[in-house]
């Protein structure tokens, strides 16, 4: 099939590359001419395991093209995916201006029956707005060209997006016609040859499924963080509690790891958007509001533990920070707990040496330049370099290389052998036996 993917961000690029890998002819569209030129040269704007290889391979073999022209991309296209950003507004709502701008462009260029797919995460009812925007442009042209709008939300984990796309747990497709259902089944049938993973439903049902899925996972995280904070006050080891409740098959072990909060481009934005949707429909979302508030507060827990140990004035102290990305396997620092902590440490006068296996470039580009210019923040190229003569090590992102560090070497290079573990990665008893002062969340 011939596909057009509008948007070359995280979702669009992964979607386009993976469809090309399955033999489809894909054209990715972006209005950023510089970005498109770089993509044509083999540059990949995000870190995602396995993505670079399939982009390069399919580009070389001519199945994956990049352009700034929607008109060019839509020539003889069977399906158009809208995969542009939907940033949060100040009130938590999802900003649909980019989605609707693409829809208008589709209406300007439509020449034959096409399925228009919303791949971006959008509120319930967006497909109707997309349809209206396309129809408006067709009416202005005096063209009666048929089309269908389909909702096909993505369920990709950053750090495992390629694997998630190629081997999906489920493929949610919201349709309102037999014709669009047949087209989408043809597109996805090879992704579910072992057993049928395609879940067809109504368009609004699919839009809601995406938000509800992310909100449920966020709820599990915030609930476990609330339990961990209570464990701190009761002298209970939350790790034992986690194992105890996770063994219940109704609960399971996924997403019940306590820590310093969730971040990234999905969970925070989607929870806020669902809260806003509830408010727009005269409904108070009590649970999701609590999930959001718990997470926002959780990002400050590590700083409170640090100041409880060292005092409010950190001017003469240096901290080694392990992890900047919001999770392992990505270079994404959007709404990352590490960035919140870094800002608090800087504001309290501390110096910070920070290391992350993939997010250093993003941090240098996106963090305030004065942090680097005044010497308060130094980005280093090795995890142990971040610990030289520091007063404490703070683990924020649980990258695999951080799981089994050389504690003897750490103790020798650190000014004070203090570990503040924001992801409960280490055994407190072993560390204390090795002469470390150890603090975690729900284990202090």
Q: Any catalytic annotation for residue 266?
A: yes
Catalytic residue among 231, 266, 420, 444: 266
Q: Give burial (CB, 10 Å; 0-12/13-18/19+) of 416.
A: middle
Q: Which two tokens stand for residue 390?
A: 């520091």
Q: Which two tokens stand for residue 43?
A: 């540059």
Cα 184 from chain centroid (whole Å): 26
Q: Which two tokens stand for residue 74?
A: 């839509």
Please list the active-site residues: 266
């Amino acid at each position: 099939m011939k596909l057009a993917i509008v948007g070359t961000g995280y979702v669009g690029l992964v979607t386009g590359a993976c469809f090309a890998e399955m033999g489809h002819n894909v054209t990715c569209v972006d209005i950023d001419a510089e970005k498109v030129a770089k993509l044509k040269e083999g540059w990949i704007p995000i870190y995602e395991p396995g993505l670079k290889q399939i982009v390069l391979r399919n580009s070389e073999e001519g199945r994956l093209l990049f352009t700034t022209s929607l008109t060019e991309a839509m020539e003889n296209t069977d399906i158009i995916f809208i995969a542009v950003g939907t940033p949060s507004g100040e009130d938590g709502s999802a900003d649909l201006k980019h989605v609707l701008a693409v829809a208008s462009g589709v209406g300007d260029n439509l020449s034959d029956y096409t399925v228009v797919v919303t791949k971006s995460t959008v509120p319930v009812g967006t497909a109707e707005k997309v349809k209206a925007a396309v129809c408006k442009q067709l009416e202005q042209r005096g063209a009666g060209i048929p089309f269908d709008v389909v909702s096909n939300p993505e369920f990709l984990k950053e750090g495992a997006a390629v694997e998630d796309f190629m081997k999906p747990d489920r493929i949610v497709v919201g349709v309102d016609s037999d014709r669009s259902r047949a087209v989408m089944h043809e597109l996805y049938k090879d992704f579910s040859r072992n057993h049928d993973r395609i879940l067809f439903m109504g368009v609004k049902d699919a839009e809601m499924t995406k938000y509800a899925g992310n909100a449920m996972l966020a709820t599990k995280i915030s609930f476990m963080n609330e339990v961990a904070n209570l464990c701190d006050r009761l002298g209970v080891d939350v790790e034992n509690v986690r194992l105890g409740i996770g063994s219940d098959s109704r609960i399971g072990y996924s997403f019940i790891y306590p820590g310093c909060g969730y971040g990234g481009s999905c969970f925070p934005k989607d929870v806020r958007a669902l809260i806003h949707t509830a408010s727009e429909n005269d409904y108070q979302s009590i649970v999701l509001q609590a999930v959001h508030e718990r997470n926002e507060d959780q990002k400050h827990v590590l700083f409170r533990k640090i100041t409880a140990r060292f005092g409010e004035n950190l001017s003469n102290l240096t901290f080694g920070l392990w992890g900047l990305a919001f999770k392992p396997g990505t270079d994404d620092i959007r709404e990352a707990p590490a960035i919140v902590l870094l800002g608090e440490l800087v504001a309290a006068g501390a110096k910070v040496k920070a290391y992350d296996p993939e997010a250093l470039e993003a941090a240098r580009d996106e963090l305030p330049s004065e942090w680097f210019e005044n010497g308060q923040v130094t980005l280093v190229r090795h995890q142990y370099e971040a610990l030289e003569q520091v007063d404490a090590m703070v683990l924020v992102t649980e990258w695999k290389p951080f799981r089994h560090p050389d504690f003897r070497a750490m103790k020798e290079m650190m000014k004070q052998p203090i570990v503040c573990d924001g992801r409960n990665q280490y055994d407190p008893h072993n560390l204390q036996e090795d002469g470390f002062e150890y603090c975690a969340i729900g284990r202090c």
